[in-house]
Structure 1
Amino acid sequence: MLLQHCAWPEVEAYLEKSTGVIVPIGSTEQHGPNGLVGTDALCPQVLAEAAGEREGIMVAPTLSIGMAQHHLDFPGSITLRPRTLMAVVYDVVQSLARHGFSHIYFLNGHGGNINTVQAAFAEYYSDYSLHKGPSCEAQTRLKMGNWFAGGRVKQISAERFGDKEGSHATCSEISLTQYAYPESIKDVGLSPEQAPEGHFRDAVDFRRQFPDGRIGAASGLANPETGKALFEAGIADLLDEYRAFLDS
């Protein structure tokens, strides 16, 4: 169930049956010459929407812009400052909690969001601890899962790509988008075949060290057949973790 496709009485009726919701969150940033700029938002979105349709779970609109300052030397990348993303996540949580959503699960597609989103959760809980009184417990439960870290997904990635998976513009994330959006597959040459690994500071340093935008990945190995396997694995991983979260 897509929240943005519902009328408000439908959301009210849903809350009588379930108070859980999935919020896809990602980023809008370069993913090398053959990866889509929207990769980090599209991956959790397609998985969350498929899981929601299969199991009748409410899925909120995707938060598609994240903390991606280090990609700004590549055209098309958009970032929020960490404090801005924290404020966005906090306000989304407060909005959903006001209506009675008690279990809010963020399905993340971008490693650069992890610390910031967790900090936003800490801010939300801190407000209860500091301002609501000694006997007031926060009734809203918050959790973030990373689609690329699920057990089934990691197994497929290891079997299909091994040490050529990389850490940015990975074979797996590009494969998933190729399966979900076959009309957008990019047929380009990549040189070197596997990008170097390394660390970076800011946007200029990132592009200096990784000129085509990839880190450690042989992204040309991406393929829609593996993307389909990752799609099914990602849904299964998500549903397992979401159900356990609802039971917590």
Structure 2
Amino acid sequence: MQLALSTWPEVERYLQRSTAIIIPIGSTEQHGPNGLIGTDSICPTTIAAGIAEKEDVLIAPTISYGMSQHHMGFAGSVTLRPSTLIQLIIDIVGSLEKHGFTHLYFLNGHGGNIAPVTSAFSEIYADFTNDGKQAPRCRLANWWRDAAIAKLAKALYGDAEGHHATVSEVALSYYAHPEAVKQAAMNPAVAATGEFYDAADFRRKFPDGRIGSSPQLATVADGERFYQLAVETLREDFLTFIKS
């Protein structure tokens, strides 16, 4: 059930049987020479839709912009300030809580969102505690950090999975949008790894946008495997969460 495709009476009826909602969140940023700029939003959106096929759950519109400052050296990337993302999460949770939602499951596709989103949760809990009210339950589920997903990526790609523009995320985005599969030459085959500071430092150290990865290995078939596994494992995680 998609919030954007529902009417307010339908949402009121939904709240009579469930007060949980899944909120996909990602980013709009470069993913190497063959990775889609929308990869980090496409992946959680696709997984959330798969969960909704198996469970009676409301899916919110995807938050498609995230904290991507470090990717701003590459054309097409868009970023929010950490403070902007924190306030956005606070306002979204506050709006949904007012309508009666008690369990908000943020299904995340971008590592840069972790610190701002969890900081927002802390602000929300502090506000509710100070007001003497029961806070809504918020969870950030990072799909690529699931143990089963990481195990499959290791088995398929070894160290070539990498850290950014990973093979698994590019493959999952290709499964969701096979019409957008890209081909690009990459040298070296496995990108360098290392630390970075700001966007200029990122572009200087990783000129094609990859960190430790070989996304040219990504296929639609592998993407389907990640999709099926992610729907299964994250569905279980979501069901455990809403029982708390």
Q: Shorter chain as normaliser: what TM range?
A: over 0.9
Number of residue pairs the alignment of both structures matches: 244
Distance 2:9 2:234 in 1: 27
For each residue in 1:209-236, what CA deviation from the matched residue of structure 2 results, as whole angstroms up to 9, or x when unmatched?
Answer: 0000000001111111110000000101
2 CA distance for matches of 1:188 and 1:39? Answer: 16
Q: Does 1:14 align with 2:14?
A: yes
CA shift for structure 1 position 187: 1.3
Is 1:48 aligned with 2:48? Answer: yes
Q: Secondary structure at the match of 1:16?
A: helix
Q: Does the CA contact (< 8 Å) of 2:69 and 2:199 recur in 1?
A: yes
1:138 CA displacement: 2.2
Q: What's the TM-score, normalizing by structure 1?
A: 0.97
Who is 2:77 aligned against?
Answer: 77
Unaligned runs of at least 5 residues, structure 1: none
Cα shift readout 1:144-174 (whole Å, capped 9, x = no counterpart):
1001011221121111011110000000000
Please name the residue that 1:151 is paired with: 147
> What percentage of residue pairs aligned between the two structures are identical?
48
User: Paired residue for 1:162?
Assistant: 158
Query: How big is each residue's C-alpha offset from its partner over 1:187-223, in whole Å with a ceiling of 9 and x where there is no partner?
Result: 1111111100011111111000000000000111111
State the distance in 2 between where 1:56 and 1:149 align. 25
CA shift digits 1:122-142 (9 cap, x unpaired)? 000111223x1xxx2424111
Cα RMSD after superposing both structures: 0.8
Contact 1:151 1:237 in 2 (8 A): no
Aligned counterparts, 1:196-207, within 5 A:
196-207=192-203
Cα distance in 2, alignment partners of residues 129 and 101 from structure 1: 17
- Are the counterparts in 1 of residues 37 and 76 from structure 2 also a CA contact under 8 Å? yes
Q: Is the 8 A contact 2:125 2:135 kept in 1?
A: no
Per-residue CA deviation, residues 37-86 of structure 1 (Å, 9 max, x unaligned), is: 00001100000012112212100000000000010010000000000000
Give the gaps of 5 or more residues in structure 2. none
Report what 1:95 is aligned to: 95
Provide the C-alpha distance between the structure 2 equivalents of 1:242 and 1:236, rounded to a whole number of angstroms. Answer: 10
Secondary structure of 2:17's match?
A: coil
The residue number in structure 1 matching 2:171 is 175
Moved over 6 A (4+): none
* CA distance in structure 2 between the partners assigned to 1:44 and 1:238 by the alignment: 10
